[in-house]
Amino acid sequence: MRALFRSLLPALLLIALGAVLMAAGVTRGEQDIVFIKASNLCMECIGLG
């Protein structure tokens, strides 16, 4: 059991860090900026922008 926990610990920490950073971005209102940039990139990739 201890070996399993040790092998999962880095993954769990990275998942928790990702969740914290995503929450920080949402509280700052950055989801709109990211969505606009992603939309523009997709339009450029398929040749519409």
Domain locations in the chain as residue ranges: 2-45
Q: Can you give the pLDDT at residue 23?
A: 96
Q: Can you give the pLDDT at residue 9?
A: 94
Mean pLDDT of 30-40: 89
pLDDT for 12 beyond 90: yes
pLDDT for 41 beyond 90: no
pLDDT for 38 beyond 80: yes
What is the largest distance, in Å, between two alpha-carbon atoms of the chain? 54
pLDDT for 43 beyond 90: no
Alpha-carbon distance values, 5 to 14, 15, 18, 19, 42 (Å) = 14, 15, 19, 20, 40
Q: Can you give the pLDDT at residue 49?
A: 57
